[in-house]
Amino acid sequence: MKYVDFPNSLELIASKITPNKSRVINVANQKGGVGKSTIVRLLPTILSMLGFKCLVIDLDMQANATKSFFVTRNYLHEDELTIFEKTLMKGIAEGSIKGLAIDITENLHFIPSAMDLESFPTFLSKKFGLVDIGDSNYYQVKELQYEYFQTLIDEVKSDYDFVFFDTPPSASDFTKASSYVSDYVLIAFQTQSDSLDGAVDYLGTTLTNLNNNMNTHFQVLGVLPNQYNNKKIDTTTINDAKNIFGEDNVFSNILPNITEIQNIPRDGLINDSYWNARMYKMVAPVVEEFLTRIYLAEEE
């Protein structure tokens, strides 16, 4: 990948981030089509260009992030077949996900999603017990399930500065387990749709319940508005988000509507055209704020 000329302010904050420290980040919203996979494609790619080692774990069976990472890898390693011997689910079932990461570049790795991931909730129930939300031991058993997932993530995260989860649009074991093991949760919403409701529900109900009933350690890094079109509805939705979550919790740098983003699934995350370099530069302020928020959180 060619190097994109990022602003000095981005390079500066990147240089202030503590090295050799892993951060696990869950990108979530229980509504679909709000930009989760887009963020999980772009942020780690730019962070990897800045020199950070990044891993993306795709927990969404739609495999949108997975597909575009495969396209990218095939483009960059034309002469080499991308093979993976074991699925993420098989790794989870066998008790280790070490060695499953596929390298796109030296700094950017991913663990692909596959259809067998469907059995993740059933596997956890079989191993640790089946519980219903009304059961008195519900959170106790769920915590055992998610703690198991934590041991698998702990085993791989030390190789990376940032580990990102792409998640399906649901409040399910996928998004709860990924929040449970995360240091930060980044909530995405789209400025023209009712995806703000999904953000409110995820933060207000799903994450609050996890936090109140389990030994979680995540903090909400912020709510990131996506696909901003500079229309009245976009501004209204962002103001609504600020009123609901508090101004400081909403990213002030937002992801604009960028046509090139829609080409990523077909073309991959390449960086050899003017238009792609332009896309990365447009996303750079969001990465800068992301790193600033991490920096401030770690300073506390």
Could you say whether residue 56 binds ligand ATP (CB under 6 A)? no
Give, as ranges, the residues between 171 and 230 that touch ligand ATP (CB under 6 A).
226-227
Could you say whether residue 32 binds ligand ATP (CB under 6 A)? yes
Q: In what order do the strands lie in the sheet with 108-111?
A: 102-103, 108-111, 54-58, 162-166, 23-28, 184-190, 219-228, 255-256
- For Mg ion, the closer of residues 175 and 191 by Cβ is 175
Cβ(111)–Cβ(102) below 8 Å:
yes
Amino acid, single-letter form, for residue 22: S
Could you say whether residue 72 binds ligand ATP (CB under 6 A)? no
Hey, which residues does 26 pair with through a beta bridge?
165, 185
Other Cβ atoms less than 10 A from the Cβ of 216: the count is 18
Could you say whether residue 169 binds ligand ATP (CB under 6 A)? yes
Could you say whether residue 64 binds ligand ATP (CB under 6 A)? yes
Size of the site for ligand ATP (CB under 6 A): 18
Could you say whether residue 36 binds ligand ATP (CB under 6 A)? yes
| The pair of three-digit structure tokens given for residue 84, joined into one six-digit string | 């993976």
Could you say whether residue 74 binds ligand ATP (CB under 6 A)? no
Give, as ranges, the residues between 249 and 278 that touch ligand ATP (CB under 6 A).
255, 257-258, 261-262
- For ligand ATP, the closer of residues 71 and 144 by Cβ is 71
- For ligand ATP, the closer of residues 34 and 171 by Cβ is 34
Q: What is the DSSP letter of 250?
A: B
Give helix then strand counts, H and E, for the chain. 12, 8
| The pair of three-digit structure tokens given for residue 237, joined into one six-digit string | 């939705």
Q: What is the DSSP letter of 161?
A: S
Contacts with ligand ATP by CB under 6 A lie at 32-38, 60, 62, 64, 169, 226-227, 255, 257-258, 261-262
